[in-house]
Amino acid sequence: MTSIFLYDTTLRDGAQREDISLSVEDKLTIAHRLAEFGMHYIECGWPGSNPKDADFFARANRMHLPARLAAFGRTRHANATCAADANLRALIDAGTPAVTLVGKTWDYHVSHVLSTTPEENLAMIGDSVAWMKGRGREVIYDAEHFYDGFVANPEYAMATLRAAAEAGADWLVLCETNGGKLPWEMEAITREVASRLPGARLGVHCHNDSGCAVANSLAGVRSGAAMVQGTVNGYGERVGNADLVTILANLQLKMGHPVLAADRLHELTSLSRFVAEVVNLQHDAHQPYTGHSAFAHKGGIHVAAILKSPDTYQHIDPDLVGNQMRSVTSELSGRGNIQLQARRLGLDVDNEQAQRVLAQIKHLEHEGFTFEAAEASVELMFHRLDPDYRQPFELLDYFVITERRHGRGLLAEATVKVKVGEVVKFTAAEGNGPVNALATALQEALVDVYPVLRAVRLTDYKVRILSGAAGTAANTRVLIDFQGGLETWTTVGANANIIDASWRALSDSMEYALIRLGSQESAP
């Protein structure tokens, strides 16, 4: 059976989704997780399209991730040389082992968008691929609009692929750019290309405009493609890209392709939800395989049958992808999950402890907390189970004001009163916002006793309102990322009041920092 390679473009094509805007830190976090998960290729961006990219590529290359990083760009300009092309030079400067070049397939686009001749377009493809190969890169050639182009003019579409192949492209990726094709059309055309280009390594890149991106990608694999391009959760422009999460599960569990080791597949739900948290989108509860509701049974006859035999109304065992069966009336235990997570943190947790943490998580999730991306908050729960564990400080009061006065501008101030051991610390701070003022006042209150906290700083802050119906009166969830030394961690807080939710995440983070960095307590 052909080996299938997964090519993730969440960081480039996925970020074209209109409500996604990624910082360099976000991109590094996602790239790290994708590589750890086992993604074969990670497309990281279009160098030169914005100034943040140079910084990203420099830092990503230094991470030495166990995945091939790819930089994305287009073929050279018409009637110009590769050497003079700033875009191609930026691709080399990105320093990635792989480079993905997109070129035109459809003669209509060549004349209407590029405004050049069919012959020049072929030269642009061939020259650009050859130039990149000459610089030691693995070259993935993305044939834009391949399927529409093939329908319009199959001979010209094939000529563009041949131009890339003859110049040494390692992969020819057939892109269903407009997303409107149906699976049997995909399959017939891909099969035709495979038969006309024996030996070529083909890939497919699909969009979901007809609601068939998953099926279209699988049809591509059935008819000869060995690379599937897509994004985590199908994020992308318009309706989205093909969802690599669903595709991977189908390839491995339904079609028998051993794409990744089975224990990696077990991380699929966690990966899918993690990426949603980082891009700050609600994870789709109804996503195939990984959604919170994907194995939730509400119908009376279903639940009764499921209790007799779980396979009566489930297409797979949810444990295979790290998800859980739920019935809407009775939540089923995920103690195994908790123990797995504890083990991953290097902690030894028995059944009874796991049960207590699970009960606490379920209670807090009901209040709006989420722990998918807030492992520090979970780790704190484990530590607090230890009878020898001593809470390093205790909140007495806080008070935060924000005001804007005509002619006097904006101010934010906070006071914090905490008890550290037997000492009460009362501090005040101003900030350029209420959470900043609160964080500064808290840090001030603690650094005398715990000087290690001086090095801790907040690096990211995300907020989501949970119930779409009740507005600002609804529950607010805050995720805060911190950094101290080389460590980074995330904590979560939830409350109808955003300041109080932030307080919870802030104080958890300070407590976590003391565990992680060592409390190095000085005499109070």
List the beta bridge partners of residue 450.
none
Q: Which is nearer to a copy of itself, 29 or 353 (CB)?
A: 29
377 Cβ contact partners less than 8 Å away, ≥ 6 residues apart: 369, 371, 490, 491, 492, 505, 508, 512
Which member of 96, 370, 377, 491 binds a copy of itself (CB under 8 A)?
370
Window contacting a copy of itself (CB under 8 A); options: 59-67, 76-84, 430-438, 512-520: 430-438
Q: At what angle do helices 52-62 and 24-37 cross, to 10 degrees?
A: 30
State how far Cα 84 lies from the chain centre.
35
Task: Decide if residue 467 touches a copy of itself (CB under 8 A).
Answer: yes
Task: Decide if residue 271 touches a copy of itself (CB under 8 A).
Answer: no
DSSP state of 462: E
Q: Which is nearer to a copy of itself, 45 or 201 (CB)?
A: 45
Which member of 258, 336, 421, 433 binds a copy of itself (CB under 8 A)?
433
SS3 367: helix
Residue window 224-243: x/- pattern of binding to a copy of itself, with contact defined by CB under 8 A: ----------x--xxxx--x
How many CB atoms are closer than 10 A to CB 325? Answer: 17
State how far Cα 424 lies from the chain centre.
42
Residues 16-55 that bind a copy of itself (CB under 8 A): 16-19, 21, 23-26, 49
Residues 495-524 that bind a copy of itself (CB under 8 A): 495-500, 503
How many CB atoms are closer than 10 A to CB 421? Answer: 13
Residue window 117-156: x/- pattern of binding to a copy of itself, with contact defined by CB under 8 A: ----------------------------------------
Residues 291-330 that bind a copy of itself (CB under 8 A): 291, 293-302, 304-305, 308-309, 312-316, 328
Which member of 463, 517, 519, 521 binds a copy of itself (CB under 8 A)?
463
Window contacting a copy of itself (CB under 8 A); options: 77-85, 198-206, 209-217, 348-356: 209-217
Residues 57-86 that bind a copy of itself (CB under 8 A): 74
Task: Decide if residue 362 touches a copy of itself (CB under 8 A).
Answer: no
Residues 247-266 that bind a copy of itself (CB under 8 A): 247, 249-250, 254-255
Q: What are phi and psi of 148, to 5 degrees?
A: -65, -40
Q: What angle do CA 355, 293, 181 make, to 5 degrees?
A: 145
SS3 33: helix
- Take residue 50 and report the two structure tokens written for it: 């914005």
As measured in angstroms, the least distance from the Cβ of 190 to a copy of itself is: 13
With contacts defined by CB under 8 A, how many residues of the chain interact with a copy of itself? Answer: 122
406 Cβ contact partners less than 8 Å away, ≥ 6 residues apart: none
The amino acid that residue 499 corresponds to is: I
